[in-house]
Structure 1
Amino acid sequence: MKLLGLARIASIPVAIGSLFALAQPVSASTSVDNSGFYDHQIIEYQATPEVTSSPHAAQLISHGNVVYHIVGANGTTPAVQCARLFAALPNDASSCNVLNFIPTEVGYAGGAWNLQIFHWNPGINPVELSKDDDILAAVAAGKGTLEVTATLVRCPVINFAALR
């Protein structure tokens, strides 16, 4: 049980680090596109993380917007989570994340997303989770747990016209 806790704690800096590694100043000449999922579809966005005082503060500031990061029992993102993204957009960086809202969707509050990390339980074979409902269903089925962090991610969604 302690080993699982250590893997969980170790995954937080990895998740935040991958977001910081992808974060670039947003400008026409220097921005880097990132790929992820929304409602089983591939999207592109630009991510800039910032840390709040607490997970509760991050949830309040994000107004219900969540970016889910998926990790296996070993603390790294399973290859199956990224396979479709890398095949479709090989030149995009990716943390293989899932957004629960995009602009134009009813309920979208704009601004920032609260980083929440889904941890696959040991002994469970990971599958692609590409919609927030899939993640919440996996938690409800006991396949993994969800960790709410104090990290906000500002990730303007780009190239989502086909989803409108």
Structure 2
Amino acid sequence: MPYRWTDISKTARRLELWPHRSLPRRGFAAFILATFALITVPLYPLLGTFVLWGLLPFLLLVVAGLWWALERSYRDGEILEVLTLDPDRIHLRRTARRAAPLEWEANSYWARAEMHQTGGPVPCYVTLTGNGRTVEIGAFLSEDERRTLYGELASALAEARATGTP
């Protein structure tokens, strides 16, 4: 799962969420190399001709464009959501590459997790409500991961409520 819970202290927990990467960096390099190797196959009969030099820049442009698009996808996916939960307070910080960090804080006793089956930007949309605001969490996760996250989040909030004070 692209998230993990860690215990900070006896009563405080931290949840870190990030988008899933289906193509790791090593696979990225292998894909670009394989694309380059396969795209040059039609050029072999053209070795020694002027046509090779006419086609080669376009084929290299295709490989460069593919590399740029995949690299841009990696940069856009650099999102990290960190939720800190203790009996007195809950704090969520979302950092993305091209945006200022977004923060939300509330009393963990009054905060609640909600899952919206429909009506959100994605199915099984998970939100946190408290301190007069509603914020999303884990919108980049898959539907099954959001369901699991909601269950874990609701039980962690219930546990924090049980040990905290209103």
Q: Which has the higher contact order (CA 8 A, sep 6+)?
A: 1
Give the shorter-chain TM-score range: under 0.3
TM-score normalised to the size of structure 1? 0.23
- Calculate the TM-score normalised by the size of structure 2: 0.23
- Larger relative helix fraction: 2
Higher radius of gyration, 1 or 2 = 2
